[in-house]
Amino acid sequence: MLRSPVRRVLRRYSCPVGNSHGLQGRVFTYTDVTAETDVDRLKSEFVSMASHELRTPLTSVHGALQLALSGGGVGLNEEDRELLAISLANTERLVRLVNDLLDLSKIEAGRMPYSPEVLPVGTLLDEAARGMQALANLRGVRIAVEATSDGQRVAGDRDQLLRVVTNLLHNAVKYSPAGSLVRLGAVPQPDGVLVSVDDQGPGVPAEQIDRLFRPFSRVGVHERLTTGGTGLGLAISRAIVEQHRGRIWVERPPAGGSRFAFVVPGPAREDDPASSRAVA
Ligand code: ADP
């Protein structure tokens, strides 16, 4: 019994109930998630503030290093030039990391600009494939776009959904051996459209599948140095897909490689993506 009004966050689940005569009604379950939501908010605020604070000095270090190396670093001896080039490359990685951290905290806090529209999936896939073509050429990997039927559409924010497809495609190309094929596909589903990225790379170990979409959940820590990634791409992709009320997962196809896939709702279910996640 509450003596005065208190703001509460409730998560609602609804489940249809029926018997042989058909649908009889729905069971609604409400869970009080106020404490979890508050902790999440505090965490996001801290990460967001820390990232902002880090970004300013980093930008100035980055600028200074670029200036020192401008014009090919004329006037520097070879050793100094090499040291500065290493510092610049690592500063660029730090900038990417800080930007990704900021983006993740914004998406999780629902502060990332979100402009829903109805989008043809084929266009998203083509655009992501075009953007990744240069890296694919460099690595000798072929990208094939295989949307099974034209005209499939999803409801969502164009930039954010493009970011998810691009992240998955980037990983697929990055982890694929030269001469292999990366397939980008889209098939209609009862609850939306399923987008998949298949590669012929090393695959993901079974024991890693559950935590792969958490921040910094690398399969091998040494990869951080060799691939130059931030370890946040999949966490950001999951946050975006969930904001769109979709789901994202990874599979280990029997023939090898990996399949990353996500489903996002089609236009018929389009409305405020946050509305069914929590009611205050
Ligand atoms: P990053 O690629 O920046 O390391 P991600 O969050 O995108 O971070 O990926 C997390 C980890 O998941 C990667 O470090 C890698 O170990 C694994 N991974 C992602 N995509 C693939 C893939 N297509 N094949 C094999 N492993 C992958």
If one residue of 171, 221, 227 were mutated to test the ligand 1 pocket, choosing by the most ligand atoms within 8 A of its CB, it would be: 171
Nearest CA to ligand 1 atom 25: 203
Question: How many whole angstroms separate alpha carbon 196 and alpha carbon 261?
Answer: 4
- Residue pair 10/278 in contact (Cβ under 8 Å)? The answer is yes
- Centre of ligand 1 to C-alpha 218, Å, is 6
Q: How far is the CA of 165 from the centre of ligand 1 (A)?
A: 14
* CA–CA distance, 162 with 96 (Å, rounded to integer): 18
User: Is-contact 69 85, C-beta < 8 A?
Assistant: yes
pLDDT at 114: 87
Cα–Cα dist 247/262, whole Å: 6
Q: Could you tell me the two tokens for 200?
A: 């012929």
Domain extents in the chain: 1-112, 116-264
152 neighbors 120 (Cβ within 8 angstroms)? yes
Helix (H) or strand (E) holding 136: helix 121-139
Question: CA 183 to CA 169: how far, in whole Å?
Answer: 9
Q: What residue owns the CA closest to ligand 1's atom 26?
A: 204
Q: For residue 228, what pLDDT is reported?
A: 67
User: Ligand 1 pocket check: which of 176, 212, 248, 251 to mutate, most ligand atoms within 8 Å of Cβ?
Assistant: 212
Contacts of 176 (CB under 8 A, 6+ apart): 139, 141, 182, 199, 200, 201
Q: Output the average pLDDT for the chain.
A: 87
CA nearest 242: which of 58, 90, 44, 104?
104
Q: How far is the CA of 130 from the centre of ligand 1 (A)?
A: 21
Q: What is the pLDDT of residue 274?
A: 40
pLDDT at 2 (0 to 100)? 65
Fold for the domain defined by 1-112: Helix Hairpins (1.10.287)
DSSP state of 177: P
Report the C-alpha gap between 18 and 217 in whole angstroms.
Answer: 41
Residue 227 binned pLDDT confidence (cut-offs 50, 70, 90):
low
| Architecture, CATH, for domain 116-264 | 2-Layer Sandwich (3.30)
Rg, Å, the chain Cα set? 22
Cα distance between residue 241 and residue 192, in whole Å: 12
Q: Is pLDDT of 133 > 70?
A: yes
**How many angstroms is it from 80 CA to the middle of ligand 1?**
33
3-state secondary structure of 228: coil
By most ligand atoms within 8 Å of CB, the mutation choice from 93, 97, 183, 219 for ligand 1 is 219
Residues with C-beta less than 6 Å from any ligand 1 atom: 167, 171-172, 175, 199, 201-202, 204, 212, 217-219, 223, 227, 229-235, 258
Task: Count other C-beta atoms under 10 Å from residue 193's C-beta.
Answer: 22
CA torsion sign, 195 to 177 to 86 to 218?
positive
| Residue nearest atom 16 in ligand 1 by C-alpha distance | 219
Whole-number pLDDT of residue 219: 61
Please name the helix (run of DSSP H) or strand (run of DSSP E) that holds residue 167, with its range, or none.
helix 158-174
- Among the atoms of ligand 1, which is closest to the Cα of residue 228? 3
**Higher model confidence: residue 21 or residue 99?**
99
| Long-range pairs for 246-253: beta carbons < 8 A, 24 or more residues apart | 246/192, 248/164, 248/213, 250/204, 250/209, 250/212, 250/213, 252/203, 252/204, 252/206, 252/209, 253/198
Q: What is the pLDDT of residues 192-206, one digit of tens each?
A: 899 999 999 999 988
- Report how far residue 13's alpha carbon sits from residue 151's, in angstroms, rounded to the nearest whole number: 32
CA 46 – CA 145 distance, rounded (Å): 40
Q: What tens digit of pLDDT does each residue of 24-71 get?
A: 899 999 999 999 988 988 888 888 899 889 999 999 999 999 999 988
| Ligand 1 atom 4: residue of nearest CA | 231
Q: What is the pLDDT of residue 45?
A: 86
pLDDT at 271 over 50: no
